[in-house]
Chains A and B, each alone.
Chain A
Amino acid sequence: MTGSSFLHPAAAFLALGILLPFIRGSWWRWLTPIPAILAIYSVFTVAPGDYGGLTWMGFNLSLGRVDALSTIFANVFAIQALLGFIYSLHQEDKRQHIAACFYVGGAFGCVFSGDYLSLFAFWEMMSVASTMLIWLNFRENKRSLAAGFRYFLMHTFGGLLLLAGMLLRYKALGTWAFTPVDPSAAHYYDWLIMFGFGLNAAIIGLHAWLPDAYPEATVTGAVFMSAFTTKTAVYTLARGFAGWEFLAIMGVVMTLYGVFYATMENNARRILSYHIVSQVGYMVAGIGIGTAMTLNGACAHAYAHILYKGLLFMTVGGILYATGTQKLTELGGLASRLPIVCLCYVVAGLSISGWPVFNGFISKTITIAGAFEDHRTLLGIGMELAAVGTFLSVGIKLPYFAFWSKAPDTTRVLKPIPWNMHLAMILGASLCTLQGLFPQALYWLLPYQPVEYTPWTAWHVLQSFMLLSFAGFAFYLMRKTMKPHEQRNIDFDYLYRLVGRGFLFLVSKPVAWLDSIWTEVYARVGLKGLMGGAAASRVFDVSGIDTVVDGSAYTTRGIGRGAAKTQTGRLNDYLAGAVALAAAVLALVWGLR
C-alpha cells in the first residue's frame, strides 16, 4: 500500500443509485452529476497502490487495484460519466438514472477489481443495469423488449463463460487473482475467460447483441452503454490477455467487419453500433499484438474512443430526440435546423475517422504504427483499410444523409433539444478537439512510459489527409451507390436463432417420437382410460413449433411450453408419469453400469 486513501468511484454511484428511490420531488436530478464529479476528483488524485483489500470467506479480494492501466480507464470513465449525466439531466424517469448509476458503478468496480470474484460481481451488475437501460425505452420503442431479452441472454452466456473459466482456474491454481495470462501457457479455462470477456468486447461471432440492442436503448442510455460495456471488456483483455495472437487477428477482423456492416446500414444508431465493433477492433488488435506501443495504442484509443463515441451517440440521440426517427432514409437537410448538433457531430465524425486536429488522429495511429513497427504489415494494412471505411460511413455517409443530401428542411416539426444535451455535446466536442491538439494530455496517462510516438509530424498529417480526402473523393464518385435503403441486414444473430430452432427441433423430435411409442404401449395394454387419451396430440406439437418460435429469447420459452404441457392437472397422469419416469431413470442408471 503506497497511497494513503482512495475514494472508490463506484461507491458514490452505488450510493446514489440506492438513495434515489427514496427521494421525493424533482430536485434529485441535480444530484446525478455529483458522483461523476467525485469520481473525477478521485481518479486525478489517487496514488497507485492496492487499496480495499479484504478477506472474505477465506478468499483474498481486492477492490482497489490502482495502477496505470486501471487509472487511465477510470479516468475516461469518470469524464464520460459526467458528460453522460449532464446529457441526461433533463430525464425525468428516475429509473433510468438509477440503472445508469448501477451500470457506471459496476464499470468502475470492474476496472479496480484485482480478483475474479469481485470482478464477476460487478460484471453481472453491469449486465443487469444495462438491460434495464434498454427495457426502459419500451414506451418509445416496442422492439426494445425483445432486444433487451436477447441482449441479456447473450450477456448471461458471456457471464457463464467467465464464471466457468474462473471457477476452473481457481480449482487448478488455487487463486482468484486477476493476473496476466501467458499466451504460450494458456489453459482451456483461460480461453473460457477470454471468450467471456470477448463477448462483452463484441468479438466477431459473439458481437451481434451490440448492433441489435444499442439502437433500441433509450437516447440517454445508449450514451452510457456506448462507453462502458465494451471498454470494460477491453480493459480486462488488456489486463489479462495481452499478446494473444488470436486477439491480434480477431481485432483486425472486427475493424473490417464492423465497417462493412456500417456501410450497409440505414439506422443511424446501428451504424454507430457497428462502428463500436470496428473501433474496439483496433484496441483488441493492439492488445493482441502486445508490444508496449500497441498496448499504449489500445489504451489511448479506448480513451479517445469513449469521448468521441459518446459524442456520436449524444448527437445522433439528439437527432432521434428532435425528429423521432433514426433512419437515414427519413432524415436529411437538417444542418440548419440542428446547427449545434450538426457541428458537434462533424467534430465526432472527424475524430473517429482520425483526422488531424481531433483525438482519433493521435490515438488510432499509435496502434497502426505499432503494428507496422512490429512487422505485422497485413494487420496494419487491414486497419488502414478499416480507417477508410470508417470515414466513408460515419465520417461522411451518416452526416451527409442526415444533415445535407436533401434541400434544407424547413417544414419538419422538431422537438426542442434541452440545454443540457447541447452543453454535454459541446463539452464532448471540446474535449475531442483539445485532446487532438495536445496529445500529451492523454499520453502521460498511458501505462508504458515514455511514449515514443509523435503524432504531429508533417508526414503523419499529410498521410492522414491524403488517405481520408481520397476516401472522401471515392464517396463523391459513388454517392448514388451509397444511398441507404430500408432494410435489416442479418448478422450472426440470425445464426443464433437458427441454432435455437435446431435445438428445439432436436429436443422435440425424439420426445414426440417417444411420446408416440408411449401412447402405443398404453393403447395396447389397454390403459387408455388411465392416461386420459394420452396427451400425445397436445404434447410437443411439432407442426406448431414454427408458430411458437418468435425470436431466440422465445425459443427457450417455446421449449418451456412443451415441458409445461406434461403438467396436465390429472392426478393419474402424474402418478403414472412419476412411476414411469423414476423407473426409467433407475433403469438407465443401472443399465449403463
Chain B
Amino acid sequence: MSEALSRFFLWAHENRNLFRILFFVVLVVLVALNVFEKPEHPHVHEEVYPGFWAVFGLGAGVVMIYLIKRIIANLVAFDEDTYDRL
C-alpha cells in the first residue's frame, strides 16, 4: 500500500496542472449549484444570494493572509532563539 501511495504522489506531482484545472472547475460548479440549492433557515440574511459563502471564504482568506503575514507578523517576529536568550 505504501509503495502504491508513494507512486500516486509522484504521479500527482507530475500532473499537478491537471489537478489545478480540476480545482477551478470545482469552484465554478460549486457556485453554480448554489443557485439552485439554498438554505432553509438562513443564518444571516445575505445567505440568500448565491455564492455568499464563496465570497466570504475567498475574501476572508485573502484579507486574513494579507493582514497577518504582511503586517502583524512583522510586529511580533523575533529571532527563533529569543526565549533562550531572554
**A–B direct contact (CB < 8 Å):** yes
Question: A residues touching B (Cβ–Cβ < 8 Å)?
Answer: 143, 146, 212, 259-260, 263-264, 335-337, 339-340, 342-343, 369, 372-373, 377, 380-381, 384-385, 388-389, 392, 403-404, 407-408, 458-459, 462-463, 465-478, 481-482, 485-491, 493, 497, 549-551
Q: B39 near A459 (CB under 8 angstroms)?
A: yes
**What are 26 residue pairs bridging A and B, where the CB atoms are less than 8 Å apart in the complex?**
A264-B73, A264-B76, A335-B9, A335-B13, A339-B9, A340-B5, A377-B44, A388-B61, A392-B61, A408-B9, A408-B13, A463-B39, A466-B51, A466-B57, A469-B27, A469-B30, A469-B54, A469-B57, A470-B57, A473-B57, A474-B59, A477-B62, A478-B61, A478-B65, A481-B65, A551-B83
CA distance A388 to B64 in the complex (A): 9
Q: B83 near A487 (CB under 8 angstroms)?
A: no
Chain B neighbourhood of A466, CB < 8 A:
30-31, 34, 51, 53-54, 57
Chain B neighbourhood of A408, CB < 8 A:
9-10, 13
Q: A389 near B34 (CB under 8 angstroms)?
A: no
Question: Given A335-B9, A337-B6, does the pair A470, B72 have CB atoms closer than 8 Å?
Answer: no
The distance from the CB of B48 to the nearest CB of chain A, in whole angstroms, is 12
Q: B13 near A336 (CB under 8 angstroms)?
A: yes
CA distance A47 to B27 in the complex (A): 49
Q: B76 near A482 (CB under 8 angstroms)?
A: no
Question: Given A473-B27, A487-B80, does the pair A384, B56 have CB atoms closer than 8 Å?
Answer: yes
Known A-B contacts: A339-B9, A384-B56. Give 8 more (CB < 8 A). Answer: A264-B69, A336-B6, A377-B43, A388-B61, A471-B61, A472-B23, A487-B77, A489-B77
Q: B9 near A474 (CB under 8 angstroms)?
A: no
CA distance A490 to B30 in the complex (A): 40
The distance from the CB of B45 to the nearest CB of chain A, in whole angstroms, is 10
Chain B neighbourhood of A259, CB < 8 A:
64
Q: B57 near A467 (CB under 8 angstroms)?
A: yes
Q: A474 near B77 (CB under 8 angstroms)?
A: no
Residue of B nearest to A143 (CB): B84
Q: B84 near A339 (CB under 8 angstroms)?
A: no
Q: B86 near A478 (CB under 8 angstroms)?
A: no
Q: A458 near B37 (CB under 8 angstroms)?
A: yes
